A and B are shown apart, each in its own frame.
Chain A
């Protein structure tokens, strides 16, 4: 184990190195770029022995990774924003084909208007593409989830690709002290990739076939079931990780001071750190507030949410997303769990940070006030102008 001062992207690259992917396809896009730069350097200095493929687009990046995975190779690629959308066809291809690829996505706004800064509309627009989606909070979790990502994806019960999301710039380009596990420990945690879902000369297969109406729904049900089953695998993976590395993230969600909390804010990604500080401040004043970080949003942590929220009076969902014409997508998902389970609490949605807009300590304090006093359900936070109707 060593310590280093790394950006989120650098840390993720270290995690990738420790996971020993055999084939890596790379294509640059801001703010993902430094990940593929670090990985290229690792291949150059032989600290990572991998086939490094310079593809000519994101569509090809994922198409190439699928091809390699179909030969039984562990694969990696990374993208962001427009790139994620450009590979959208391949996203569904990878998940439908059950190829356990791990991909890093640097969360970034999508055009138009053009914007290179962070929000989560890129990945949240792809919630239905069949990938496991995890959102990490800091550089350490980035590194750790590169390793955990493969462990989850490649579990035979799961065999589903994993997208690890890092907030663009705020996380990808911010430097923190990170513990880098030893290769020995990493190998102890992550066994070599084995699958029957591959081509080999001894056992020739036809892959990525068509399935007509007579069998198609069964294939889709099996895919859905694998995603549901992954919830248990995610928890087991986190437990195994804790055993070897001494760090645990709590599985699908991570609560903070929620046990007796009346007002709980739900977050995802890097904003969680600041929210935690605000919770501490308010707690010092005797306010019963708490925080629930959604780490995974597919599979959706329904049971965790019910357990965490059932005695709360009001909850808020803070997200860097808007489903135009409705509300934040995470909020919609959370409300569905609350309705299905008959929880009696008020819910509020706080749309913030679009296109990289700063989310301040004051914004978060005001959000907790809103939970306590009530008000409008769907709120845009930090708009710099008044809304003239």
Chain B
């Protein structure tokens, strides 16, 4: 499993710190999206691991774990699509 992930970023100090052209390492993240949220989804015990939330999440922040599913709250925007799509109402939106 791989995905773009957060890296340290320091604004370039000299010209040679910049890349050639407009080409830089793929999947290089420097900021989170967690501040966008008013509500966060919580996966409850009702979850049957049908993976609908995982599939339909526009941000891909729901990921598989050994025991089921978990959410990367660094990048969840709190849209609530997962709550809507869940056939068992196993996801609750919780005010931040």
Contacts and interface: CB of A to CB of B under 8 A. Distances in A.
The answer to whether A binds B is yes
Interface of A: 70, 96-99, 156, 159, 195-199, 204-209, 211, 214-215, 218-219, 221-222, 225
A153 to B, nearest CB: 13
A98 B20 contact: yes
B22 A207 contact: yes
A298 to B, nearest CB: 18
Q: Chain B CB within 10 Å — which of A205, A219, A221 has the most?
A: A205
B87 to A, nearest CB: 36
29 contacts: A70-B23, A96-B22, A97-B23, A98-B22, A99-B21, A156-B20, A159-B21, A196-B23, A198-B23, A204-B25, A204-B26, A205-B23, A206-B23, A206-B25, A206-B27, A207-B22, A207-B23, A208-B22, A209-B22, A209-B24, A214-B11, A215-B11, A218-B18, A219-B18, A219-B22, A221-B15, A222-B15, A222-B18, A225-B15
A226 B46 CA distance: 61
The secondary-structure label for the interface of chain A is loop
A211 B21 contact: no
Interface in B1-41: 11-12, 15, 18-28
A195 B12 contact: no
Contacts of B12: 215, 218
A219 B23 CA distance: 12
The secondary-structure label for the interface of chain B is loop
A159 B20 contact: yes
A196 B24 contact: no
Nearest to A206: B26
Interface residues of B, number: 14
Contacts of A196: 20, 23
A302 to B, nearest CB: 22
B83 to A, nearest CB: 32
Contacts of B15: 218, 221-222, 225
Contacts of A197: 19-21, 23
Contacts of A199: 23
Contacts of B11: 214-215
Given A98-B21, A208-B22, 10 more contacts: A98-B22, A159-B21, A196-B23, A197-B21, A197-B23, A209-B24, A211-B22, A215-B12, A218-B15, A218-B18
The 4 A-B residue pairs with the shortest CB-CB distance, nearest first, are A98-B21, A204-B26, A197-B21, A197-B20
A205 B20 contact: no
Q: Chain A CB within 10 Å — which of B21, B25, B28 has the most?
A: B21
A195 B20 contact: yes
A211 B20 CA distance: 14
Contacts of A97: 21-23
Nearest to A218: B18
A205 B18 contact: no
Contacts of A225: 15
A195 B23 CA distance: 11
Contacts of B27: 204, 206
A195 B15 CA distance: 18
A231 to B, nearest CB: 18
A347 B26 CA distance: 53
Q: Chain B CB within 10 Å — which of A159, A206, A209, A214 has the most?
A: A206
A223 to B, nearest CB: 9
B6 to A, nearest CB: 16
Nearest to B16: A222
Nearest to B17: A218
Nearest to A98: B21
A156 B21 CA distance: 11
Nearest to B14: A218
Contacts of B24: 205-206, 209
A207 B19 CA distance: 11
Contacts of B20: 98, 156, 159, 195-197
B21 A207 contact: yes
Contacts of A195: 20
